[in-house]
Amino acid sequence: DSGVTQTPKHLITATGQRVTLRCSPRSGDLSVYWYQQSLDQGLQFLIQYYNGEERAKGNILERFSAQQFPDLHSELNLSSLELGDSALYFCASSVAGGPGEQYFGPGTRLTVT
Amino acid sequence: GENVEQHPSTLSVQEGDSAVIKCTYSDSASNYFPWYKQELGKGPQLIIDIRSNVGEKKDQRIAVTLNKTAKHFSLHITETQPEDSAVYFCAALLEGNEKLTFGTGTRLTIIP
């Protein structure tokens, strides 16, 4: 158990809908990272927040957004969902904002029908 | 940006034998190289990492080596056990950047 929690574990929704994925980092970690894992794209970095502020952006679509709250939990919002958005979404956390160990949560499996 | 290649994509070894997985990276400014193990239905688990100022690191049956000149790093698992069966990912992090770039993964199967 990494100490990173994610909810929900599974999510099934229809195209065009909007969903919110939630992540709580390990106690004491200030950085939260979001990754998408799909069969054809592998593990792709989406976005990082550090202590409430956006720190880095990866291959995140404009339909996706995220935020980190004062209690350091983070939410990833996915809107206008398409079939291709079906994937595993992982959250990871680390202590600082620089290069260091990132610990992954168990993930949310999103299925768009 | 950084690009990480990982080989092989699948690897089967007899229990007790050694397994080696290799990765190459493209940007010489990368300075942090973690390895993750992902079991079915779980998130990636950090198993070992190495920084660019170190050539080798060992933790019990697991070791990682880094060749900065050739821009490649490898994971070595000795005395393999059935519970080592999983998908392994290498990754690289570019200095000054925050995002990990992952390899495509290696599915390791330990044959009892």
Q: Indicate yes or no: CB of B89 within 8 angstroms of CB of A43.
A: yes
Q: Indicate yes or no: CB of A48 within 8 angstroms of CB of B98.
A: yes
pLDDT score for A100: 75
* Contact indicator for B18, B78 with CB cutoff of 8 Å: yes
Q: A95-99, B49-53, B80-84 — which one is most confidently predicted on average?
A: B80-84
Residue of A nearest to B5 (CA): A42
Give the residue-averaged pLDDT of B14-42: 95
pLDDT score for A59: 83
Cβ neighbours for A16, distance < 8 A, ≥ 6 positions apart: A80, A81
* Contact indicator for A12, A109 with CB cutoff of 8 Å: no
Most A CBs within 10 Å, among B32, B99, B101, B107, to test the A interface: B99
- The values of phi and psi at residue A84, to 5°, are -70, -10
Chain B: give the shortest CA distance to residue A16, in Å.
27
pLDDT score for A97: 62
What is the share, in percent, of chain A residues with pLDDT greater than 90?
A: 82
- Distance (Å, whole) CA B32 – CA B34: 7
pLDDT score for B89: 97
pLDDT score for B2: 87
Contact list in A for residue B49 (CB cut-off 8 A) is: 101
The three-point CA angle A43-A48-A49 to 5° equals 155
- Distance (Å, whole) CA A28 – CA B102: 25
pLDDT tens-digit map of A32-57: 999 999 987 789 999 999 999 999 89
Give the residue-averaged pLDDT of B17-36: 95
